[in-house]
Structure 1
Amino acid sequence: MRNKPLFNYPLVISIVGILLMINCVFMLFCLPFSFYFGDHDWLSILFASLINGGVGASAFFYFKQHALTRELKKKDGYMIVTVGWLMVSFFGSLPYLISGEIPTLTDAFFETLSGFSTTGASILTDIEAVGKGILLWRSMTQWIGGMGIIVLTVAILPILGIGGMQLFVAEAPGISPDKLQPRIKETAKRLWWVYLILTCVETILLMFGGMTFYDALNHALTTMATGGFSTKNSSAAEMTPYIQYVLIVFMFMAGCNFTLNYYAFKGRFKEIIQNEEFKYYAGLVVISTMILTVVVYYQLPEIGVEQSFRDVLFQTLSIITTTGYVSADYTAWLPFVTMWIFLLMFVGAMAGSTAGGVKIVRHIILQKNSFLELKRQLHPSAIIPVRFNGNAVSPNITYNVLAFIITYFFIYAVGVLIMSIIGLDFLTALGSVATCLGNIGPGLGSVGPVDNFAHLPGVAKWVLSALMLLGRLELFTVLIIFTPYFWRRI
């Protein structure tokens, strides 16, 4: 028993190999676009895909046979999710490096992890000059990361005789995910089908608005992933009102729990309307839009009521859902509006969506528990549980939410201090950490909606990359690996 490994590392490595092979397949999907547009980046994409496929296949087939057991434990799940995300990001940066579009490892890794984490923070200064195949891979990283490459693997693992519940829990820790079917494999498949169908529908609708198939596909991939990478230097600022409204609709849907999107496909709208988190989500969007539209129209009456409404609604949804598209420079609006949008960076959309951030359900539970604490002070003997969707929330979930929010803001404070030590100004430090930890994209200061992250020091980019990973994997999945408890033999 003393020699028993801490975790099943051959199985962990073999599953990471599967992830790299998935990387390979999606890279190959970008090749036809390089050929069609006559770009020379096709060879770089091909080499990168072969490296991903070769390393992934070698890791899978060699270590699979040395696995101690086919059963995944919790420790295995945490290692696979964290190490897997790092490996797909590292090997996913190869198209940038080999093509020379992003020549340094620091910038290439930052851009790739920003994609897989659906953050959308970019170091590219002239996006439209980048090869079409490379740009499609850039969008593809967000689409893969949006629903979670791990969830995709969960649908495959049962075929290999490996259960996937541990991976699903590690991918979405804290709040238990709703399961559409008893088996996790079926859940993952249905979520991916919803994800794929919505992506296809958005692509078609964007083409109706005059977008080319290539641009429509890229924007559909990054909208459904709530990632925000665009093929245009101006993001969504110069797009037509029709296209912006299409993006608004699909940003809203991507910010919903994908279980609710599945219910919409099945016509079960009553369950959507009765969902408490959905009510808060929709209500926050409506209230924020109404208040900020009045303020923006008061400041800029020349743009009219409709554009004021559209710009505010677009930016409100873009920040709440952590998509990060930009239709207007919100830092040029009144300080009240900028501050409101900054506070929205700490909200996030619904749990079970592709959005990052704290998530609305955690705010609901925190607010209800805080309010009930006042009642408990008056009635100390009474047992008053927190209720969500009409059901009592277990104390364990409440403690998890409190721990998550405290940890989130502690990491945010430490991140801001580190950025200040590196030399960033106060606004940029606040904005860069908030946007990377929340997987949003644009921030404040010199990383605002009309700027990017190219000018930041290399050390700052590595720190922000770590924050993007922490935010995407909801803190505990990564942090638990650095605790002494994780490395104890049980």
Structure 2
Amino acid sequence: MNKSMIRYILGSVLKIEGTLLLLPCLTAVIYQESEGIYFLLTAALCVALGMAMTFRKPKTSIFYLKEGCIATSLSWIFLSLFGCLPFYISGEIPSFTNALFETISGFTTTGASILEDVEALSHCTLLWRSFTHWIGGMGVLVFLLAIIPLSGGSNINLMRAESPGPSVGKLVPKMRYTARLLYGIYIGLTVIEIVLLLAGHMPLFDSLCTAFGTAGTGGFGIKNDSLIGYSSYIQWVVTIFMVLFGVNFNAYYFLLFRQFKKALSMEEVRYYFLIIFTAVAVIAFNIHSMCAGAFDAISKAAFQVASIITTTGFSSANFDLWPQTSKTILVLLMFVGACAGSTGGGIKVSRFVILCKTVVKELSSYIHPKIIRKVKVDGKPVEHEVVRATNVYFITFMILFSFSVLALSFEGKDLVTNFTAVAATINNIGPGLELVGPTQNFMHFTVFSKYVLMFDMLAGRLELFPLLILLHPTVWKDMLSQRRPKKLDR
């Protein structure tokens, strides 16, 4: 195991986080807030530790998927542990567990909060809270790949371990340029949303925080009522951009280079929009009697469908009061999630497409045993390894989900609360139903339950296996071993 490279990556991540912490420091200067000193101290700590960890460069920068998963999992844990320090030491979130919960929720773009009065926080804290969504949306390691070259093809192992979806490939020959291209698209869409929000007379600070939350599909609001108090125009801008950030970024690459036919032929994206339009139509019809006309029903339905399927978690209405049919559809959308290769969470549309086609294939094999059929996506056969990985992912997801619901049940809360709390965290959504509904929060859970939910948030964002690999006994044996192998373990 290339432990020196893992150390180097962790140090680089800390230096990046220390640099990014300067943004809330600047915000504190602008608004003359004393809380900024805590962000500055944390930034200095991150940079100092990062420099110490990267002072000696590894002899070899080559590492394999196992190291990629370990480096990714530890990077997100380090990000969260250091990122929560300003919340805790400033006293704005006096409990370390709560501060860590809020920070993990931010970086994993979950948006589940323990705060009862968001508006009581300082501007610098609010900005950092929303900015963690933006950092975690595309992934800090993707940013790292964009600025630090790694040799031997090792960089794709980091990308695979961090990026959401069943598979990750290169858009251009060099992975470094792929990472830069992804961040270029990400920044471009974020800037466009900020401009459109400003055009709707939204204050600059509100626009920045809202755009950060939308781009990362996170959902931390800076108002106690989320986005309910903003105009219909602003809500529609956020709705549209939530949907756009849930699209596979490969589609934007094709559009950017005028490969329109390839963009339009992406089956996953077509199903993604079909699910959205169908869900909006059914929910709008179902809640029509509770709204001020058809347009209001469509607006509310579109916003909440976009928020849930992209796992953003913003709210424009208290959907916990909606009819059972609408709430059932929203819960189902929690599991579907956005497209692979987007900033959204959930199981992903592509996996459901593969699973459904696998079922159809198996049914056909029972009816016509001699016919050989392959699962195809975008007109191309899906490799057996991808189908197997999708099935294993789904099984692992359900096992982890079931154990998490069981763990929460010891508190004695109702099943709907526990079920949707786990669904909202493992799918990186934020709000659930009942005691964790859009007007509630996660403060009332015990410390044990909060750590279960924090694990679910990290596991969901990292696609389960990188975090599970980190917990494997063999990995820890290798990491703690002083043995220096002649060649790297694959």
| TM-score band w.r.t. shorter chain | over 0.9
Higher mean C-alpha deviation, range 132-141 or range 475-484:
475-484
Shift in CA distance, 204/479, structure 1 to aligned 2, threshold 3 Å: same
The counterpart of 1:71, out of the listed 44, 62, 72, is 62
The DSSP-based 3-state class of the residue aligned with 1:346 is helix
Name the aligned partner's letter for residue 181 of structure 1.
V
Matches within 5 A, 1:91-130: 91-130=82-121
Aligned to 1:194: 185
Q: Is the 8 A contact 2:108 2:458 kept in 1?
A: yes
Equivalent residue, structure 1, for 2:378: 389
Q: Relative to structure 1, is the Cα distance of residues 84 and 35 closer, same or farther in structure 2, using a 3 angstrom cutoff? A: same
Consecutive unaligned residues of structure 1, counting only runs of 5 or more, are 1-6
Q: Report the count of equivalent residues.
A: 479
Q: In the aligned structure 1, how far is the partner of 2:265 from the partner of 2:60?
A: 43
Partner of 2:485: none
* From 234, 243, 246, the counterpart of 2:237: 246
Contact 1:174 1:397 in 2 (8 A): no
Aligned 8 A contact 1:356 1:472 in 2: yes
Listed one character per residue, the Cα deviations across residues 274-308 of structure 1 (whole Å, up to 9, x for unaligned) are: 110011000000001111101100x315x111111
AA of the residue aligned to 1:421: F
Q: Is the 8 A contact 2:138 2:216 kept in 1?
A: yes
SS at match of 2:410: helix
**Higher mean displacement: 34-43 or 18-27:** 34-43
Alignment of 1:54-93 (within 5 A): 54-61=48-55, 64-65=56-57, 67-93=58-84
RMSD value, Cα:
1.6
Q: Does the alignment pair 1:326 with 2:315? A: yes
The alignment partner of 2:293 has SS state of helix
Deviation at 1:402, TM superposition (A): 0.8
**In structure 2, what is the Cα distance between the partners aligned to 1:88 and 1:172?**
16
1:358 aligned onto 2:310: no
Per-residue deviation at 1:59? Answer: 1.3
Q: Indicate the residue corresponding to 1:296 in structure 2.
A: 287
Structure 2 unaligned blocks of 5 or more = 479-488
Percent identity (aligned): 38
The one-letter amino acid paired with 1:94 is: L
What TM-score do the two structures reach when normalised by structure 2? 0.95
2: CA distance, partners of 1:482 / 1:379: 44
1:272 aligns with 2:266: no
Distance 1:160 1:42, change over 3 A: farther
Give 1:471's aligned residue: 460
2:21 maps to amino acid: M
- Cα deviation, residue 129, structure 1: 1.2
Q: Name the amino acid aligned to 2:449.
A: A
Contact 1:253/1:261 (8 A) holds in 2 = no
Does 1:372 find its partner at 2:361? yes
CA shift digits 1:238-269 (9 cap, x unpaired): 11010001001110110001121233333433
Looking at structure 2, the residues matched to 141 and 304 of structure 1 have their Cα atoms a distance apart, in angstroms, of 37
Q: Aligned AA for 2:417?
A: T
Pick which of 263-272 and 404-413 moved more: 263-272
Aligned residue in 2 for 1:10: 4
Secondary structure at the aligned position of 1:262 is classed as: helix
Cα deviations by residue, 1:179-232 (Å, 9 ceiling, x for unpaired): 220110000000001101111111111011011111101111110100011111
Cα distance in 1 for residues equivalent to 2:331 and 2:315: 14
Does the Cα contact within 8 Å between 1:146 and 1:226 map onto a contact in 2? yes
1:227 aligns with 2:221: no
Report the counterpart of residue 436 of structure 1 in structure 2: 425
Match of 2:171 among 167, 171, 180: 180
C-alpha separation between the residues in 2 aligned to 1:263 and 1:39?
45
Counterpart among 17, 23, 34 of residue 40 in structure 1: 34
* Letter of the structure 2 residue corresponding to residue 329 of structure 1: N
Residue 22 of structure 2: aligned partner: 28
Tell me by how many angstroms 1:76 deviates.
Answer: 1.4
Task: Name the TM-score, length of structure 1 as normaliser.
Answer: 0.95
